[in-house]
Structures are given as C-alpha cells and as structure tokens.
Amino acid sequence: MFSFLSKKKPTTAHINAQAITVQPKETLLQAALREGIDFPHSCRVGGCAACKCKLVDGRVKELTETGYILSDAELDQGYILACQSVPQTDIRIEVDLSAQAARRTATGRVVAQDKLTHDITQLRVQLNDALPYKAGQFANISIDSLSGVSRSYSFATPVQPDSQVSFFVRRVPGGVFSTAINDDSVVGQTVTVDGPMGDFWLRPSTAPMLLVAGGSGLAPVLALLQEAAAADESRPTTLLFGAREERDLYALEQIQEIARQWRGPFRFIPVLSAETVPDSWRGKRGLVVDQIPEVLEVGTHAYLCGPPPMIDSATALLKQHGIPGAHIHADRFTTLHDVVAVAA
Ligand SMILES: Cc1cc2nc3c(=O)[nH]c(=O)nc-3n(C[C@H](O)[C@H](O)[C@H](O)COP(=O)(O)OP(=O)(O)OC[C@H]3O[C@@H](n4cnc5c(N)ncnc54)[C@H](O)[C@@H]3O)c2cc1C
Ligand code: FES
C-alpha cells in the first residue's frame, strides 16, 4: 500500500511546442526518441554534449555531474544534457531540432596522416559525398580497423569543394583511437563520419573577438578563422594559442595566411607553459589563460576550445572581467576519462 502510494507518476515534457510523456526513471532523451522526436544526440552517456538543451521551466534529476562537459556559462543559462536528465516535475525545454535533421553519416577513405607535432596527427579523409557543416562543428569518426569504436573530432577546415575533411588528433595516453591515428598506418582504410554536431561556430557580430585554443583545440578555431577570413571578416581579433613547448606549436603558416587575409587588426600570440630551454623562446610563457586580461578589449566575444580545465579557468576569468556568459562560446574536448571520472 505504502509503495503504491509513493510510486512516481509520468511527467510531461514540452519540447519546444510539442508535449510528450516521460515515464518515471526515463531520461528526457529516451522519452523524446520513443515519442519519435528527432532529438539531437550521439553518445547517450554524457560524453559529447550533442543532446544539450535549455531547461526553461521545471526540475530534472541529473544522473551525472554535467559541469565537466557544459561550461559555467551554459550551466548559468540552464543548459542540461537530455541523456542525463530525468524529469522530476513537468518541464519545458528549448532545443534546436534542425541540428539533428542536418546530421548524416558519410563514408570515405583515409588519404593521408600528416604529423603536425610529436603527438598530433592530421587525419585527412576523402568523403564519397558532400557533408555540409559549419566551421567549428565536430563529427563522430570510426575507422575499419577499430570496429565499434567511435570518437568525436572537430573539423579542422571549412567545407572543401572536393569533399575532403581533416581532423587534428592528439595522442591521449592509453587512448584507443588517438593512439591508432598517431602510431599506426590507417591510410586507405574506410572511415565513417557522422555529423555535423555542436554549436561552436562564429556568431555574426562586429565585436572584438578573442579565440583561445589549447593543443588540438586549434582545429575548430582554425576552421572558423579560415572561413571568416575568406568572407572578408574585419573585426579586431586576437588568437591565443597555448602549448607546452615550442615543438608543440603547429599550423603557424596557416595562421600567418589568415592574419594576412584578415581585413582588420589580427594578433596571434602563442604561449608556452613548459618550455625549459632558457633563451630558446622569446615569446610569452605561462598558462595561455593568464594572458587573457592583457589582451581583453571592452565588449569582447570569446571562443574557447581545448581541454576542460583550460575552458573552465578561461570562462571564470572572462566573467570576472565582465564578459557575459552569452558571449562566451566553448568546445570542450572531453575524453572517456572525464566521463568515467564523474560517473565514479
Ligand atoms: C565535442 C568533442 C570534440 C573533440 N574534438 C577533438 C579534436 O578535434 N581533436 C582531439 O584530439 N580530440 C578531440 N576530442 C577528444 C576525442 O573525442 C577523444 O576523446 C580523444 O581523442 C581520446 O580518444 P581515445 O580513443 O584515444 O581515448 P579513449 O580510449 O577514449 O581513452 C581516453 C582516456 O580515458 C582513459 N580511459 C579509458 N577508459 C577508461 C575507463 N574505463 N576508466 C578510466 N579511464 C579510462 C584512457 O586511459 C585515456 O587516458 C573531442 C571531444 C569532444 C567531446
Ligand atoms: S548524447 Fe548526451 S552527452 Fe552525448
């Protein structure tokens, strides 16, 4: 009798204008997919942020801590992960459903593996068909030799007329996919590219722009800048690129070319955090985030990409300097390690 009385009841979720029923213990994503809504998603385990949506009313229980994948700015604005959220009351959600409609699975072949640094490889894939995406977005990639393994990587160029796509893959210690791309030959293998996903793209504005990239986080930032330069962008722009040592810097010629094409002021500041050889580096030293106050202009819009700790400290610092969350855009390169760590 008691347990009957305390049994949880279904709740109603309004997804944009559509109402659906969510069963007790069901996640918002499970309910939406069951009801036939093409809700954006990918990993379903809280690892990719593809199912990110805005909770505008009601309460959810989160199955995992989402602070590792959503930025502070997004959390402040009420963003949740649909795959990790079980409604506790009736809720109202806003989500861009067109994103999922644009997503498709393309196949292709690896045509090159170019070493960019000792631990970053550019993977070039010739797709069989065009795959439209916005510069800054990512896709889930899988290759023949690693069946059942799929990982997220950001497109490192804007859409190319020949349907070739590129990804910068940094070797993660103990990582299955990134080690194969950096250490084994995969040229000629069939590749599946599932995308595009993500909302890291350049918002139209004339405000000064600050881009902060760490390691392979330069991939979407380069794509975004190349696309903007080709469109004659002129807004004052600063690119901070954080690396450990001088040997970790790459794509310098591409950045020079972007700076040459840019119609307005363009500053490029590489920052090394662990260069030990004295006098070998005459540029900035320290953590890339610590350079932000020096270069920040009034009304700046920020674009951050790289490992989660870099994004968190950059976001906190930008906020301290009065940049509102709505003008901070971030792409976090979360790994399985981050997901497992919060689930533990
Ligand atoms: C939106 C998005 C975009 C991304 N874009 C890029 C990009 O452009 N370039 C890039 O280099 N990376 C990017 N990443 C990261 C990328 O998706 C991979 O996570 C990364 O390459 C590691 O994959 P892997 O298969 O080599 O490692 P995995 O095998 O997934 O392992 C990753 C780490 O977790 C540890 N680990 C694995 N399993 C467990 C476990 N059960 N318990 C504890 N620890 C475990 C491993 O030892 C390793 O250290 C992106 C991630 C996201 C979410
Ligand atoms: S589908 Fe929810 S985080 Fe990947």
What pLDDT does residue 71 have? 73
Q: What's the whole-number mean pLDDT along residues 189-209?
A: 94
- pTM of the predicted model as reported, rounded to 2 decimal places: 0.89
**pLDDT category of residue 262 using cuts at 50, 70 and 90:** very high
- Reported as type and span, the H/E element at residue 71 is none
Lookup: tokens for 39: 């809700």
Long-range contact list for 23-32, CB < 8 A, 24+ apart? Answer: 25/86, 26/86, 27/63, 27/82, 27/83, 27/84, 27/85, 27/86, 28/53, 28/60, 28/80, 28/82, 28/83, 28/85, 28/86, 28/87, 28/91, 28/93, 29/82, 29/83, 29/85, 30/83, 32/82
In a domain, 265, yes or no: yes
Counting ligands in written order, the one closest to the CA of 157 is 1
Q: Which atom of ligand 2 is nearest to the CA of 42?
A: 1
d(CA 291, CA 294): 6
Counting ligands in written order, the one closest to the CA of 140 is 1
- State the chain's mean pLDDT as an integer: 91
pLDDT tens per residue, range 4-29 = 455 679 999 999 999 999 999 999 99
Lookup: tokens for 231: 């469109």
Based on the structure, what is the number of domains in the chain? 3
What pLDDT does residue 224 have? 98
Q: Which atom of ligand 1 is nearest to the CA of 198?
A: 1
Higher-scoring residue by pLDDT: 7, 171: 171
Task: Show the domain range for 141.
Answer: 103-197
Same domain, yes or no: 216 and 328: yes
Are 158 and 213 within 8 A, CB to CB?
Answer: no
Instruction: Write the CATH number for 146.
Output: 2.40.30.10
Instruction: Write the CATH number for 338.
Output: 3.40.50.80
d(CA 78, CA 72): 10
Q: Mapping DSSP to helix (H, G, I), strand (E, B) and coil, where does residue 26 land? A: coil
Residues in the chain: 344
Name the pairing type of β-strands 164-170 and 60-62. unpaired
In a domain, 202, yes or no: no
**pLDDT category of residue 50 using cuts at 50, 70 and 90:** confident
**Ligand 2 mean position to 69 CA, how many Å?**
10
**Ligand 1 mean position to 31 CA, how many Å?**
28
Pocket of ligand 2 (CB under 6 A): 41-44, 46-51, 81, 83
Same domain, yes or no: 42 and 119: no
Q: Mapping DSSP to helix (H, G, I), strand (E, B) and coil, where does residue 248 land? A: helix
**Ligand 1 mean position to 153 CA, how many Å?**
10
pLDDT tens per residue, range 265-281 = 999 999 999 977 777 88
Q: Which atom of ligand 2 is nearest to the CA of 83?
A: 2
Same domain, yes or no: 125 and 8: no
**What residue owns the CA closest to ligand 1's atom 45?**
337
Q: With 60 as the cut, is the pLDDT of residue 330 above it? A: yes
Compute the half-sphere exposure of residue 106: CA atoms within 13 Å on the CB side of its CA.
21
Same domain, yes or no: 94 and 111: no
Same domain, yes or no: 315 and 260: yes
Tokens 């976090």: give the residue. Answer: 332
Mean pLDDT comparison of 62-71, 116-125, 333-342, highest-scoring range: 116-125
What pLDDT does residue 334 have? 77
Beta bridge partners of 214: 242
Same domain, yes or no: 138 and 241: no
What's the longest Cα–Cα distance across the chain?
A: 78
Same domain, yes or no: 108 and 95: no
Same domain, yes or no: 326 and 218: yes
**pLDDT category of residue 322 using cuts at 50, 70 and 90:** very high
In a domain, 204, yes or no: no
Same domain, yes or no: 86 and 109: no
Same domain, yes or no: 280 and 308: yes
Check residue 236 and report its DSSP letter: -
Same domain, yes or no: 187 and 217: no
In a domain, 41, yes or no: yes
d(CA 117, CA 63): 38
What pLDDT does residue 13 have? 98
Same domain, yes or no: 142 and 86: no
d(CA 40, CA 28): 12
At residue 72, what is the residue type? D
Are 176 and 170 within 8 A, CB to CB?
Answer: no
Instruction: Write the CATH number for 56.
Output: 3.10.20.30
In a domain, 161, yes or no: yes
pLDDT tens per residue, range 279-301 = 788 899 999 999 999 999 999 99
Q: What's the whole-number mean pLDDT along residues 135-151?
A: 93
Pocket of ligand 1 (CB under 6 A): 48, 138, 151-154, 167-170, 172-179, 198, 216, 219, 331, 333-337, 340
CB atoms within 10 A of CB 253: 8
